């Protein structure tokens, strides 16, 4: 059975524009919070294939989205490369011993890390067994730049001072780290595909931290390397790129991938003008519009008008927020499917 989401990724005609949401398996859903409480903590939930399967499927059943996205976290990759990770309440993720030296770099493993992520592959196999045949399953990873930033800073950052200092004072060290992370991600994504995902998405959450030339050297080049690797082996699997906050760099975006994710700060008209002929576009509803049904309707109408007769997948321009009413999320999905019906 063909999947509307996969068809749309390849620019095929679909009966309506497919829609899903980043972070759709998340804290705004009471059902998710119940399973998370049972798991004990966030990382335990990520490592439990049965529970990860359960929360991945919840938005399909509750909201009627057209694709499920694997429940996991981008930071399981550096964690399994050998870094100790904790999620601290009120602070977020924390690496207890950030990367500081060549010795730290040399301790990071590649093949072993990909094997240690077996709980992710098992979750995919379980989801694939339960997911409706018409619904797609999206696998994902963080971009090497975003992961490396966490690995060096040790936590979330507003200044990126440590990692950006390395770019300009020791670029060789930075590239060595990025190459290691890239090799793990290639294996990780390949194993996700072999386990049953229908598409893969690369999240570059911190793309906007870099000036233009630095971005293409230290981030986009590695994302392209991953997508080229995957498309050469699995041409039937769509690859989605999502670099957040680089609207000024769109003229230089190129590579072997299928879908470009447009964040909410990038005008959809601009993305259409610069990239619409080369790639299917995904996005880019402002996530906070979901607090108001009137704002949802208006936002959907605007994007539908711009993207009419254009290859498109509907999504938010970033993840759904934890305090969005479930009723409003349902309303958003229904509005898209109704307004875009042929």
> Is residue 140 helix, strand or coil?
strand
Token pair belonging to 290: 């979901």
Using H for helix, E for strand and C for coil, what is the string for 28-70? CCHHHHHHHHHHCCHHHHHHCHHHHHHHHHHHHHHHCCCEEEC
Residue 204 falls in the annotated catalytic set: no
Q: Which of 23, 47, 289, 311 is catalytic?
A: 23
Residue 73 falls in the annotated catalytic set: yes
- DSSP-derived pairing of the beta strands 259-262 and 280-283: parallel
Q: Which of 121, 150, 188, 279 is catalytic?
A: 150
Cα(69)–Cα(75) distance, rounded to whole angstroms? 16
Lookup result for tokens 């294939």 = 49
Q: At what angle do helices 268-275 and 293-307 cross, to 10 degrees?
A: 20
CB contact at 8 A, 163 and 221: no
Question: Residue 199 pairs with which residues in a beta bridge?
Answer: 138
Q: Which of 28, 32, 36, 258 is catalytic?
A: 36
Element housing 104 (H / E): helix 102-107
Q: Which of 27, 116, 119, 234 is catalytic?
A: 27
CB contact at 8 A, 151 and 80: no
Nearest to 260 by CA among 248, 244, 269: 244
Residue 121 falls in the annotated catalytic set: no
Residue 289 falls in the annotated catalytic set: no
Q: Which of 16, 73, 116, 234 is catalytic?
A: 73
How far is residue 9 from each of residues 160, 201, 211, 252, 296, measured CA to CA in Å? 33, 11, 29, 21, 24
How far is residue 228 from each of residues 59, 167, 186, 284, 316, measured CA to CA in Å? 31, 24, 10, 25, 26
Residue 27 falls in the annotated catalytic set: yes
- DSSP-derived pairing of the beta strands 136-142 and 199-204: parallel
Cα(187)–Cα(199) distance, rounded to whole angstroms? 15
User: Looking at the annotation, which residues are catalytic?
Assistant: 23, 27, 36, 73, 150
């Amino acid at each position: 059975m063909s999947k509307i989401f996969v068809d749309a990724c390849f620019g095929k005609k679909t009966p309506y524009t497919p829609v899903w949401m980043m972070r759709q398996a998340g804290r705004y859903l009471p059902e998710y919070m119940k399973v998370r409480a049972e798991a004990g903590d966030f990382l335990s939930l990520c490592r439990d294939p049965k529970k990860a399967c359960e929360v991945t499927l919840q938005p399909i059943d509750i909201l009627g989205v057209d694709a499920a996205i694997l429940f996991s976290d981008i930071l399981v990759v550096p964690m399994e490369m050998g870094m100790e990770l904790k999620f601290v309440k009120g602070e977020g993720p924390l690496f207890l011993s950030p990367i500081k030296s060549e010795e730290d770099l040399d301790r990071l493993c590649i093949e072993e890390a990909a094997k240690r992520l077996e709980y992710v592959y098992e979750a995919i196999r379980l989801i694939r067994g339960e997911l409706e045949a018409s619904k797609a399953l999206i696998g994902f990873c963080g971009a090497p730049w975003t992961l490396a930033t966490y690995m060096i800073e040790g936590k979330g950052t507003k200044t990126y001072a440590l990692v950006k200092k390395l770019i300009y004072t020791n670029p060789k060290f930075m590239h060595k780290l990025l190459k290691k992370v890239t090799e793990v991600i290639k294996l990780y994504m390949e194993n996700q595909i072999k386990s049953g995902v229908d598409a893969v998405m690369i999240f570059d959450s911190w793309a906007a931290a870099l000036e233009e030339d630095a971005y293409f050297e230290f981030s986009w080049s590695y994302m392209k390397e991953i997508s080229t690797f995957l498309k050469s082996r699995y041409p039937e699997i769509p690859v989605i790129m999502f670099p957040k906050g680089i609207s000024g760099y769109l003229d230089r975006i190129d590579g072997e991938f299928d879908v470009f994710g447009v964040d909410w700060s990038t005008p959809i008209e601009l993305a259409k003008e610069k990239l619409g002929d080369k790639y299917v576009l995904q996005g880019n509803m402002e996530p906070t519009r979901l607090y108001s049904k009137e704002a949802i309707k208006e936002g959907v109408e605007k994007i539908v008008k711009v993207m009419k007769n254009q290859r498109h997948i509907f999504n938010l321009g970033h993840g759904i927020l934890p305090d969005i009413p479930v009723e409003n999320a349902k309303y958003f999905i229904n509005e898209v499917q109704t307004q875009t019906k042929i």
